[in-house]
C-alpha cells in the first residue's frame, strides 16, 4: 500500500457520535462522510421482511435521496458498515479499497457483490462479545444436564414427573468445541473452569504446537467425528464456509454419543436441520440449544424445532450483554492507522478460505 494523503471514510451504521469522534481522532487525514442511517431505506427494500423486522425494526432514519447516497458511495475509499450490509456496494463505489463490518461473520457478504472482489474486507472475527457467548454455551450445557427444560413441561401441566429428570454432573464430562478461534477458546476456558475436559477442532492441527488455555486436545477438522464419539457435549463455534455447510449432518449425528447436548452459537447453516430433526426423532440427543438456525435471515424456525421440549431457541442473542466487550470499533481504528501508513490490515477475509 502507498502512504495516504486523505481518506474518505463513509460511516453507514447508526453508531454514536462518540464513536464517530473516535474514528476522526485516529488521524487528521481522515475525512468522515456521515451517512449514519441513510441507507436504511434501501436495506428495507432489499432484505427480507424477517430481517428488517429483526434488525432494523422501527428505528428512525434520516431522509436522504438516492442521488445523495450515490454521491457518498462514489467518493468513499473506506466504508464502515453494520448488519445487514448493502448488497450492491461494490458496483456503486468505484474508489472503494476497504470495507470493515462491525459484526464477525464473513458469510454476511455471501449475498452481496463484495464477495470475491479485490476489495479488502475486514470483520470483527474473534473480537466480539466472546465471554457472553461462552456463558451461553455453558448455561445451555447446564440447562440440559440438570433437566431444567423438563420443568417447563411440568409447569404447563401443573404436574411433576420427577422420574424423567435424570440429571447429570458436567464435571469430568467431555465437551467438543467445533472451531477453536477466539470464541471457541473462550468457550474452552469457561468449560474447563467448570471441571470439564475440553477437546476441539481447528482447520489445520500443528503437531507439537502449544494448546490454547482450556483445551486438553485439539485435532484437525477431518478428525471431528472421532472427537464427537468421546464427547457428551458439543459447541459449534466455527465460521460458516463451503467446507462447514452441514458439517453437523447425518454422519456427525451418527458419530455422537447417545444423550449428547448440542449448542450452536455460530451459523445455522452449519447444522443440517433435516439430520438434526431425525436425530431428535430417534431420541439420540439430550438437548439442543440453537442461537442460530438455517435461514434465520429469511424466515422463522421450523415449527418442529419450536415444538420440541428438548430444543431451546433464541434469536441470535448469545453475544448480547449488559457489559459490552465488543472490539469492532477498536479494530477498525487500529486498521485505519495501518491503512494510512500502507501497512497490512488485521482480520482480512480470505475469499478462498471463506473467513
Is 347 within a domain? no
CA 224 to mean position of chain CA atoms:
20
To the query of whether residue 346 is one of the catalytic residues in this protein, the response is: no
Residue 183 shares a structural domain with residue 291: yes
Grid coordinates representing 34? 456521515
| Residue 57: domain span | 7-127+326-340
Residue 59 shares a structural domain with residue 27: yes
Q: Using 50, 70 and 90 to split pLDDT, how confident is the model at 4?
A: low
Is 352 within a domain? no
Instruction: Provide the 10 A C-beta neighbour count for residue 156.
Output: 9
Is 318 within a domain? no
How confident is the model over 128-152, as pLDDT tens digits?
Answer: 889 999 999 999 999 999 999 999 9
32, 20 contact by CB (below 8 A): yes
> What percentage of the chain carries pLDDT values higher than 70?
98
Residue 177 shares a structural domain with residue 285: yes
Whole-angstrom Cα distance, residue 102 to residue 276? 31
3-state secondary structure of 198: strand
Residue 144 shares a structural domain with residue 176: yes
Predicted model pTM: 0.90
> What letters, b where the CB count within 10 A reaches 16 and e where it falls short, cover 109-137?
beebebbebebbbbbbbbbbbbbbbbbbb
Is 320 within a domain? no
238, 244 contact by CB (below 8 A): yes
To the query of whether residue 186 is one of the catalytic residues in this protein, the response is: no
Residue 123 shares a structural domain with residue 139: no
Is 354 within a domain? no
Grid coordinates representing 338? 495501518
How confident is the model over 228-244, as pLDDT tens digits?
Answer: 999 999 999 999 999 99
Is 350 within a domain? no
Residue 84 shares a structural domain with residue 208: no
Residue 140 shares a structural domain with residue 278: yes
Residue 111 shares a structural domain with residue 174: no
Residue 334 shares a structural domain with residue 283: no
What is the domain count for the chain?
Answer: 2
- Give the domain CATH number at 223: 3.40.50.720
Residue 158 shares a structural domain with residue 299: yes
To the query of whether residue 296 is one of the catalytic residues in this protein, the response is: yes
Cell 447417545 -> residue? 258
Is 158 within a domain? yes
Task: Tell me which of 69, 100, 149, 316 is the catalytic residue.
Answer: 316
200, 234 contact by CB (below 8 A): no
Q: Phi first, then psi: what are they for 58, rounded to 5°?
A: -105, 20
252, 276 contact by CB (below 8 A): no
Task: Tell me which of 232, 286, 296, 326 is the catalytic residue.
Answer: 296
Residue 150 shares a structural domain with residue 173: yes
How confident is the model over 160-204, as pLDDT tens digits?
Answer: 999 999 999 999 999 999 999 999 999 999 999 999 999 999 987
Query: In this predicted structure, which of 86-90, 123-127, 278-282 has the lowest mean pLDDT?
Result: 123-127
Residue 29 shares a structural domain with residue 123: yes
313, 325 contact by CB (below 8 A): no
Is 229 within a domain? yes
Amino acid at each position: 500500500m502507498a502512504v495516504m494523503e486523505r481518506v474518505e471514510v463513509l460511516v453507514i451504521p447508526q453508531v454514536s457520535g462518540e464513536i464517530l469522534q473516535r474514528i476522526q481522532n485516529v488521524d487528521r487525514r481522515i475525512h468522515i462522510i456521515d451517512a449514519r442511517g441513510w441507507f436504511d431505506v434501501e436495506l428495507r427494500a432489499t432484505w427480507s421482511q424477517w430481517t428488517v423486522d429483526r434488525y432494523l425494526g422501527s428505528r428512525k432514519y434520516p431522509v436522504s435521496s438516492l442521488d445523495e447516497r450515490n454521491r457518498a458511495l462514489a467518493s468513499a475509499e473506506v466504508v464502515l458498515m453494520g448488519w445487514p450490509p448493502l448488497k450492491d456496494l461494490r458496483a456503486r463505489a468505484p474508489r472503494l479499497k476497504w470495507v470493515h463490518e462491525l459484526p464477525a461473520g464473513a458469510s454476511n457478504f455471501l449475498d452481496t457483490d463484495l464477495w470475491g472482489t479485490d476489495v479488502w474486507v475486514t470483520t470483527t472475527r474473534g473480537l466480539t462479545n466472546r465471554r457472553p457467548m461462552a456463558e451461553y454455551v455453558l448455561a445451555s450445557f447446564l440447562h440440559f444436564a440438570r433437566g431444567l427444560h423438563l420443568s417447563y413441561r411440568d409447569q404447563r401441566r401443573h404436574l411433576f414427573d420427577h422420574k424423567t429428570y435424570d440429571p447429570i454432573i458436567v464435571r469430568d464430562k467431555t465437551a467438543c468445541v467445533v472451531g477453536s478461534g477466539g470464541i471457541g477458546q473462550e468457550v474452552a476456558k469457561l468449560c474447563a473452569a467448570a471441571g470439564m475436559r475440553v477437546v476441539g477442532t481447528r482447520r489445520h492441527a500443528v503437531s507439537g504446537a502449544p494448546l490454547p488455555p482450556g483445551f486438553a486436545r485439539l485435532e484437525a477438522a477431518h478428525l471431528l467425528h472421532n472427537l464427537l464419539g468421546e464427547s457428551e457435549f458439543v459447541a459449534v463455534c466455527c465460521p460458516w464456509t463451503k467446507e462447514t455447510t452441514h458439517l453437523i449432518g447425518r454422519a456427525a449425528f451418527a458419530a455422537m454419543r447417545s444423550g449428547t447436548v448440542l449448542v450452536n452459537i455460530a451459523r445455522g447453516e452449519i447444522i443440517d436441520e433435516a439430520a438434526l430433526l431425525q436425530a431428535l426423532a430417534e431420541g439420540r440427543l439430550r438437548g439442543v440449544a440453537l442461537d442460530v438456525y438455517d435461514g434465520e435471515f429469511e424466515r422463522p424456525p421450523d415449527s418442529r424445532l419450536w415444538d420440541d421440549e428438548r430444543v431451546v431457541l433464541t434469536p441470535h442473542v448469545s453475544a448480547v450483554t449488559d457489559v459490552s466487550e465488543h472490539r469492532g470499533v477498536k479494530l477498525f481504528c487500529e486498521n485505519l492507522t495501518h491503512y494510512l501508513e500502507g501497512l497490512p490490515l488485521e482480520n482480512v477475509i480470505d475469499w478462498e478460505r471463506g473467513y
